[in-house]
């Protein structure tokens, strides 16, 4: 910068003002400085400038695994939202056999300004790990009295709407795939609650044998759960799943067993990953609008980093929509029903 100032015949401060976009610089001075920049091949060291400002302009995103389409699409949405406001994203996978929440501490070993944390589930005993002294946004079910911003959706309402959609279409033997085998996990627990509430509202008895737990929410587990339902002899004319991967696996197993979707068994997923609209048949699913979730998370984090006043923690609710496709309807007609 000293070299540019000498060639342009101005002070280092003037060079800094020009390169920072300071508006109160004359056009003539601006042109002289930029001509000197071109002559010397000067490149602004963004890392050094950010270091002096006390920020790296890098935020962390902690997700369980990128091979799951939902988390890959979330990462893409966060990267785009962060890029729009001048931030870069460092991604960490947390499904490594250790406690997910420990990733928050690991990520702070890198030069990042704050973290967006999207775990498989947020448990009450994770609360101490979330009480940190740097900006943190959690995507998941909130833990009461935890001083962190949570972005979540009403999982119970969303699964209620998915189940009610099948009930309104005349299905009465509806199974639920994706409950937690080792005990209550809040996301799965809330979605199961919504399923049960929809059954009760329609006067359909809840039957435990139609609830199939899965250790993971992957395609293979969805296929195995559907086969278990068929092998059990329990009557099933509809299935709601805790995510789209389970639903896609279930549809594959049903079709291999000679069951037609949706004529014999209607299927509904959750998340609205891109693949769901290209499945055969196209998958009815719940959408939370990942672009809006990502933009909200990045916005909250950047506000915490750049606002003079502290941002109060709280719970932000993301709306959902039921996207109806061919897997739950006789005709392959797609429409969106706002929640």
125 is written with which tokens?
């005993």
User: For residue 2, is pLDDT > 70?
Assistant: yes
29 is written with which tokens?
């001075």
pLDDT bracket for residue 44 (50, 70, 90): low
Q: Which of 47-56, 95-104, 116-125 has the lowest mean pLDDT?
A: 47-56
Question: What would the pLDDT profile of 249-308 be if each residue is shown by its tens digit?
Answer: 999 999 999 999 999 999 999 999 999 999 999 999 999 999 999 999 999 999 988 875
| pLDDT, position 46 | 46
Question: What would the pLDDT profile of 168-188 be if each residue is shown by its tens digit?
Answer: 999 999 999 999 876 546 889
pLDDT bracket for residue 313 (50, 70, 90): confident
Question: What would the pLDDT profile of 196-241 be if each residue is shown by its tens digit?
Answer: 999 999 999 999 999 999 999 999 999 999 999 999 999 999 999 9
218 is written with which tokens?
């992957």
User: For residue 338, is pLDDT > 50?
Assistant: no
pLDDT bracket for residue 122 (50, 70, 90): confident
20 is written with which tokens?
């920072």
pLDDT bracket for residue 329 (50, 70, 90): confident
SS (H, E, C) 267-294: EECCCCCHHHHHCCCCCEEEECCHHHHH
User: For residue 331, is pLDDT > 50?
Assistant: no
Q: What is the mean pLDDT of residues 49-60?
A: 67
| pLDDT, position 263 | 95
Average model confidence (pLDDT) across the chain: 87
- Report the relative pairing of strands 285-287 and 321-324 from DSSP bridges: antiparallel
> What are 116's strand-pairing partners?
61, 137
312 is written with which tokens?
């109060």
Q: Which of 89-93, 124-128, 197-201, 226-230 has the lowest mean pLDDT?
A: 124-128
Rounded CA-CA distance 237/268 in Å is 12
Nearest to 49 by CA among 11, 21, 7: 21
| pLDDT, position 182 | 64
| pLDDT, position 33 | 87
pLDDT bracket for residue 18 (50, 70, 90): confident
pLDDT bracket for residue 310 (50, 70, 90): low
Is residue 283 exposed (0-12), middle (13-18) or buried (19+ Cβ within 10 Å)? buried
| pLDDT, position 207 | 97
- Report the relative pairing of strands 211-213 and 238-241 from DSSP bridges: unpaired
SS3 170: coil
Instruction: Phi first, then psi: give them for residue 136, nearest 5 degrees.
Output: -145, 135
44 C-beta neighbours (distance < 10 Å), count: 12
Most confident stretch, 31-45, 83-97, 285-299: 285-299
SS3 83: helix
Residues 6+ apart with CB under 8 A from 66: 72, 75, 91, 93
Rounded CA-CA distance 114/103 in Å is 13
Rounded CA-CA distance 111/209 in Å is 50
Rounded CA-CA distance 276/324 in Å is 11
| pLDDT, position 97 | 54
User: For residue 334, is pLDDT > 70?
Assistant: no
Q: Which of 18-27, 86-95, 270-279 has the lowest mean pLDDT?
A: 18-27
Rounded CA-CA distance 327/244 in Å is 12
Structural domains for the chain: 2-44 (1.10.260.40), 55-153+289-307 (3.40.50.2300), 155-287+322-338 (3.40.50.2300)
Q: What is the mean pLDDT of residues 127-156?
A: 90
User: For residue 94, is pLDDT > 50?
Assistant: yes
Nearest to 244 by CA among 287, 202, 213, 214: 287
Q: What is the mean pLDDT of residues 40-60?
A: 65
Residues 6+ apart with CB under 8 A from 19: 1, 33, 37, 44
């Amino acid at each position: 910068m000293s070299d540019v100032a000498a060639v342009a015949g101005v002070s280092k401060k003037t060079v800094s003002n020009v390169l920072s976009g300071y508006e109160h610089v004359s056009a003539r001075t601006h042109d002289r400085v930029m001509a000197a920049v071109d002559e010397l091949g000067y490149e602004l060291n963004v890392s050094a400038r950010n270091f002096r400002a006390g920020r790296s302009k890098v935020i962390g995103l902690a997700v369980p695994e990128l091979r799951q389409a939902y988390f890959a699409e979330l990462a893409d949405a966060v990267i785009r939202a962060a890029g729009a406001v001048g931030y870069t994203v460092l991604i960490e996978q947390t499904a490594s056999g250790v406690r997910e929440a420990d990733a928050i501490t690991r990520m702070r070993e890198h030069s990042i300004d704050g973290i967006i944390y999207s775990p498989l589930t947020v448990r009450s005993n994770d609360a101490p790990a979330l009480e940190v002294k740097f900006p943190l946004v959690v995507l998941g079910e909130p833990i009461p009295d935890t001083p962190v911003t949570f972005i979540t959706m009403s999982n119970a309402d969303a699964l209620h709407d998915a189940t009610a959609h099948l009930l309104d279409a005349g299905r009465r033997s509806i199974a639920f795939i994706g409950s937690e085998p080792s005990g209550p996990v809040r996301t799965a627990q809330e979605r199961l609650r919504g399923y049960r509430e929809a059954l009760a509202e329609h006067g359909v008895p809840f039957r435990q044998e139609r609830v199939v737990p899965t250790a993971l929410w992957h395609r293979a587990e969805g296929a195995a759960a559907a086969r278990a339902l068929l092998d059990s002899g329990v009557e099933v004319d509809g299935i709601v799943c805790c995510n789209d991967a389970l639903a896609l696996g279930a549809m594959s197993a049903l079709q291999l067993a000679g069951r037609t979707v949706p004529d014999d068994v209607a299927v509904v997923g959750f998340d609205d990953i891109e693949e769901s609209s290209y499945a055969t048949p196209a998958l009815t699913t719940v959408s939370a609008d990942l672009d809006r979730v990502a933009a909200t998370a990045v916005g909250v984090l950047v506000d915490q980093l750049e606002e003079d006043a502290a941002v109060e923690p709280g719970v932000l609710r993301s709306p959902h929509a039921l996207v109806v496709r061919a897997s739950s309807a006789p005709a392959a007609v797609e429409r969106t029903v706002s929640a």
